[in-house]
A and B are shown apart, each in its own frame.
Chain A
Amino acid sequence: MNMIEERVSKAREQASEFFRPDQVWPFLVPDQPQQVDVSKQVLLYVEGLNLSFDGFKALNDLNLYINDGELRCLIGANGAGKTTLMDVITGKTQPDSGTVYFGSNINLLDRSEDEIAQLGIGRKFQKPTVFEAQTVFDNLELSLKSNKGVIPTLLARLSPTEIQRIDEVLNIIGLQEQRFMLAGALSHGQKQWLEIGMLLMADPRLLLVDEPVAGMTPQETERTAELLQSLAGERTVIVVEHDMEFVRSIARTVTVLHQGSVLAEGTMDQIQANKDVIEVYLGEDA
């Protein structure tokens, strides 16, 4: 008897909760663009991340904090989990456990790739991926920060400010001459630049850059270093790179990954002096 009463009252409670006049139902709440909360000066929180593929631990209790406006380099041997980490941050892969927060308020694991991109996290792939069948200009136009719903996109017209913005970026990446060339016809280095340009178009808060100078000439590498350095401060940049010279030239803080977790963190000099690192990573080179 008691039990039934209890249940009825509980149900009534639930029902009244559901029909509360001062609230809309959760599924009717419009998606509000959330502001990233960086009051703690930290832009990215990665905590306790675990991920395994068929028994192979790609990420092993990984913890990483990136400050707002920082330029961070990630280094590590192949299979250390660098790319997998990026996959997790950008929503491509779901971890087995752990949390990833953008600012202190946005849980990235709840979101899909495109939502994460719209939050202002841009990613450059290891292998340059641009839309090869379209012109450089179109590539940049597509990357504009704009409403990316179907109907707005269908009706979108380039405004003068947007065209100006594209020109600006074309200048930065040095591809004004090639603006009407198909992206597929660009050289490897130019594609890398174009991809970085596409990231810039979106005006991102956080840039994840995977091996930006692979296959570049020394001059191009130098320009890339300059570019990345100029970005830091206003934006936050995480660079994954194998080229130690390049890392040294840009990095303020370096994080070393090994077997899916953080091995060491510090300035380049500190890292190079770190025993563990010498053993597992630099040791191989020496």
Chain B
Amino acid sequence: MSSLISSIFANRGQPGGRVMPFVMILLVATVLASCLNLFTPEGSALHVSTYTITLLGKYLCYAMLALAVDVIWGYCGILSLGHGAFFALGGYAMGMYLMRQIGDRGVYGNPILPDFMVFLDWQELPWFWLGMDQFWFAMIMVILVPGILAYVFGFLAFRSRVTGVYLSIMTQALTYALMLAFFRNEMGFGGNNGLTDFKDILGFDLQSDTTRIVLFLITAALLSVALVTSHWIMNSRMGKVILAVRDSESRARFIGYKTETYKVWLFVYSAVIAAVAGALYVPQVGIINPGEFSPINSIEVVIWVAVGGRGTLIGAVVGALLVNYAKTRFTAILPEGWLFMLGALFVLVTLYLPKGLMGLYGQLKDKFSGPSGPSSANDRKTSDTAEGASA
């Protein structure tokens, strides 16, 4: 009898929160928006413009990136300030495919070389561009390249027990080095201009509304998949190990878990989510350039997660959507003010909202409905020790 109770309640206070209703809402909302774009006339009050769709598509990609950061920061205490690198690498792999799809429709009409190579007088395609004209190959690269980079970096870093702030700075250096490298024209990725002027994907015109809608829906679907998968991982015993690593890595080691292996694989998982987000981002915004590697972008992602509430999957998504929506709105009204706001957001969230909006929701709920369980009463304390351990 008691064992039955244990098994039912074993999942109480689950680390992922309730994710299924959220995924449902997300999917319904995206499908609704798509229908309103496709099937209502342009002047109608219900019409959702293509502009809005591309904007929402971009937000969803960002949300996915935020989710990737949350998975390792919120759950495993690894603060990566370089996740933009994986995002951008995924984007570049997709960009290379799209570039090759242009074929002889480039301005110089060269069937093999992208315009920027003709421009710089290159004679043949560099080896790393070979095969990128095949969609399946490019998609494998989207996952493989960032995945391997994450594996190598993670393997080296976690094995030698680089943790906390050191690791954050190293990830920042990683993305900075990649940015410098991709800015070089000799690298063969188009230098500062990056890759742009895409025509079509799998034969579908990138500029048609239908293609946009499909990309938008795919983004929402993949975000949902990422949410559900992450939820599943975090609720499995592996999720518990990950939390254990965050809170007391040495204890986890002394009960027999090879924690660096867990960290490496989680890091790779997270990098792959970021890369997929990047790959979806590129066809929707139409350009990828080394600016995506810039360290400030990666740090901004962290603040989305912090605003939404780290350690909750939904929080990361909500944070990314809210902050980016606010950014779109405020930069339109007061361009100079946005950086002040962003700066203040960083300070205020860390000082007063250590668990983000999701935490605030919990705090408010407690306030109004009385202490409902031990979990929320101890939020503050656990977050403190969590930090202490990751330092």
With A122-B254, A132-B381 as known contacts, state yes or no: A150 contacts B261, CB within 8 Å. yes
B residues in contact with A61, CB < 8 Å: none
A162 to chain B, nearest CB (A): 9
Residues of chain A within 8 A (CB-CB) of B243 are 131, 133-134
Across the interface, A184 reaches (CB within 8 A) one of B10, B12, B254, B381, namely B381
- A168: min CB distance to chain B, Å: 10
Partner of A114, one of B256, B375, B377, B386: B256
Contact with A along B237-266 (1 / 0, CB 8 A): 110110110111011111111110110010
A129 touches B265 (CB 8 A): no
The complex places the Cα of A164 from the Cα of B1 at a distance, in Å, of: 10
Q: Evaluate contact between A148 and B386: CB separation under 8 angstroms.
A: no
**A contact residues, range:** 35 or more
A180 with B12, Cβ < 8 A, contacts A142-B244, A154-B238 known: yes
Known contacts: A130-B251, A142-B241, A155-B236. The answer to whether A163 contacts B13 by CB under 8 A is: no
Q: CA A135 – CA B243 in complex, angstroms?
A: 12
A160-B241 Cα distance, complex, nearest whole Å? 21
- Contact partner, B257, options A114, A164, A166, A167, Cβ 8 Å: A114
Q: Are A163 and B236 in contact (CB under 8 A)?
A: no
Query: Could you tell me which residues of chain B, from 148 to 191, have a CB within 8 Å of some CB in chain A?
Result: none
> Which residues from B are CB-within-8-Å of A202?
255-256
Interface residues of A in 191-230 (CB under 8 A from B): 198, 202
CA distance A198 to B251 in the complex (A): 10
The count of A-to-B residue pairs whose CB atoms sit within 8 angstroms is: 123
Check: A47 CB closer than 8 A to any chain B CB: no
A106-127 residues with Cβ-Cβ distance < 8 A to B are: 112-115, 117-118, 122-123, 125
Task: Tell me which residues across on chain A come within 8 A of B377, comparing CB atoms.
Answer: 185
**Contact flags (1/0) for B308-330 with A, using CB distance below 8 Å?**
00000000000000000000000
Q: Which of B6, B7, B262, B385 contacts A150 (CB 8 A)?
A: B262
Q: Is B206 an interface residue (CB 8 A)?
A: no
Bitwise interface map of A from 147 to 164 toward B, beta carbon under 8 Å scored 1, else 0: 011100111101010011
Among B2, B256, B375, chain A packs the most CB atoms within 10 A around the CB of: B256
Contact yes or no, B241 A153, CB < 8 A: yes
Asked if A182 and B236 sit within 8 Å, CB to CB, the answer is no
A143 within 8 A of B: yes
A interface footprint on B254-283 (CB within 8 Å = 1, 0 otherwise): 111111011001000000000000000000
How far is the CB of A212 from the nearest CB of chain B, in Å?
15
Interface residue from A118, A129, A134, A182 paired with B250 (Cβ < 8 Å) = A129
Question: What are the 10 closest A-B residue pairs judged by CB atoms, nearest first?
Answer: A117-B256, A154-B238, A163-B3, A113-B253, A133-B382, A156-B237, A129-B251, A118-B256, A114-B258, A131-B244
Offer 19 A-B interface pairs, CB within 8 angstroms, sorted by A: A114-B258, A118-B256, A129-B250, A130-B248, A132-B381, A132-B385, A133-B385, A133-B386, A142-B257, A148-B257, A153-B237, A154-B236, A156-B238, A163-B7, A167-B3, A180-B12, A184-B378, A184-B382, A184-B385
Residues of B within 8 A of A (CB): 2-3, 6-7, 9-10, 12-13, 233, 236-238, 240-241, 243-244, 246-248, 250-259, 261-262, 265, 374-375, 377-378, 381-382, 385-386
